[in-house]
């Protein structure tokens, strides 16, 4: 049986909250391996996420991310893993991660998040062709989904190092 300390730790949260940056820093700090699911998909398919959405469609991407996350849950332990912000929309992914991993929700308020839109829009197809009101609706819908987690860390007013310290502390890593 896998002990709690050897479980994978999965980072969830809205696009651009810093799942990859924070996940990598936590992994370095506690000497665990880090995996970013989107980066794995991009590397294997030799395509960027916007290219995958454009050429193969969102349904293909969602199926692929589910396959990668299931494989990670079934074949690895003890890693820090960053998921794409839309992965938890899929009930099967939510169930699988909540049962097998420690799910950590990186929260950032809408007021803080919206200042980052310009930096994110080009690489996030989900944000494109949506009005600010529609993006806010998506943010709120996703927030309901991210409510399924084991641990939450607030990132408003905090630099990445402070967030990392909080995570290490809360998880007793
Ligand atoms: C998505 C989030 C992205 C990436 C894809 C779809 C989403 O990941 O998986 O563009 O639906 O929220 P990040 O959360 O790392 O930006």
Q: Is the CB of 142 under 6 A from ligand 1?
A: no
With the most atoms of ligand 1 within 8 angstroms of its CB, the residue from 22, 38, 127 to mutate is: 38
SS3 state at 155? coil
Taking every pair of C-alpha atoms in the chain, what is the biggest distance, in angstroms? 48
Q: Is the CB of 38 under 6 A from ligand 1?
A: yes
Reported residue count of the chain is 173
Does the pLDDT at position 136 exceed 50? yes
Helix/strand number for the chain, H first, E second: 9, 5
Ligand 1 centroid – CA 170 distance (Å):
26
Mean pLDDT of 120-139: 96
pLDDT at position 172 is: 85
SS3 state at 80? strand
- DSSP labels for 83-137? PPTTGGGSHHHHHHHHHHSEEEEEE--HHHHGGGHHHHGGG-GGGTT--HHHHHH
Across the chain, what does the average pLDDT equal? 95
- Whether 12 contacts 20, CB under 8 Å: no
Spelled out in words, what is the top-level CATH class assigned to the domain 4-168?
Answer: alpha beta
Instruction: Pick the atom of ligand 1 nearest to 13's CA.
Output: 14
Does the pLDDT at position 15 exceed 90? yes
Mean pLDDT of 150-173: 93
* Axis crossing angle, helix 49-56 with helix 58-75, rounded to the nearest 10: 130
Instruction: Pick the atom of ligand 1 nearest to 16's CA.
Output: 16
pLDDT band, very low/low/confident/very high, at 173 (cuts 50, 70, 90): confident
pLDDT band, very low/low/confident/very high, at 2 (cuts 50, 70, 90): very low
Q: How many CA atoms lie within 13 A of 42 on its CB side?
A: 11
Ligand 1 centroid – CA 85 distance (Å):
4
More confident residue, 173 or 121: 121
pLDDT at position 1 is: 44
Q: In sequence order, which residues have a C-beta less than 8 Å from that of residue 87 and are 6 or more positions away?
A: 12, 37, 65, 66, 69, 93
Whole-structure pTM value: 0.95
The full set of domain ranges for the chain reads 4-168
Q: Tell me the C-alpha to C-alpha distance, in Å, between residue 2 and each of 24, 67, 72, 73, 137.
A: 23, 22, 14, 12, 38
With the most atoms of ligand 1 within 8 angstroms of its CB, the residue from 84, 93, 134, 142 to mutate is: 84
Q: pLDDT per residue over 50-107, tens digit each?
A: 999 999 999 999 999 999 999 999 999 999 999 999 999 999 999 999 999 999 999 9
């Amino acid at each position: 049986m896998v002990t709690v300390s050897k479980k994978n730790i999965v980072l969830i949260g809205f696009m651009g909250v810093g799942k990859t940056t924070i996940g990598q820093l936590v992994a370095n700090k506690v000497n665990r391996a880090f995996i970013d699911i989107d980066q794995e998909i991009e590397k294997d398919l030799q395509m960027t996420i916007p290219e995958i959405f454009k050429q193969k469609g969102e349904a293909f991407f969602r199926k692929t991310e589910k396959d990668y996350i299931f494989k990670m849950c079934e074949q690895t332990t003890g890693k820090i893993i960053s998921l794409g912000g839309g992965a938890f929309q899929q009930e099967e992914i939510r169930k699988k991660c909540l049962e097998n991993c420690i799910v950590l929700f990186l929260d950032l308020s809408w007021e803080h998040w919206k200042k980052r839109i310009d930096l994110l829009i080009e690489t996030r197809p989900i944000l494109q062709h949506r009005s600010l009101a529609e993006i806010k609706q998506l943010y709120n819908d996703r927030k309901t989904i991210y409510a399924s987690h084991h641990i939450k860390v607030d990132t408003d007013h905090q630099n990445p190092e402070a967030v990392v310290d909080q995570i290490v502390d809360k998880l007793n890593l």
